[in-house]
Amino acid sequence: MPNEGLQLLQQKKREDSIERVSWALQYLKDLEGPHCRITAVKLADIAGLSRAALYKPHLRILWDKNWSKSEKERKAKKESEHYNQEKQQLEKEIIHLEKKLQKGDNQITRLTQLIEKEKARANVYRGDYEELKEKHQRLLLHNLRLLRKLHVLGIDTSDLTDQSLYGDEDID
Task: For 140-168, give one letter per residue: b (16+ CB within 10 A) or e.
Answer: eeeeeeeeeeeeeeeeeeeeeeeeeeeee
Q: How far apart are the first and last CA of the chain?
A: 87
Q: Where along the chain do its domains lie?
A: 4-63
Mind listing the pLDDT tens digit for each residue in 46-98? 888 888 888 888 888 888 877 777 777 888 889 999 999 999 999 999 999 99
User: Tens digit of pLDDT for each residue in 6-55?
Assistant: 899 989 999 999 999 999 889 888 888 888 888 888 888 888 888 888 88
| Whole-structure pTM value | 0.42
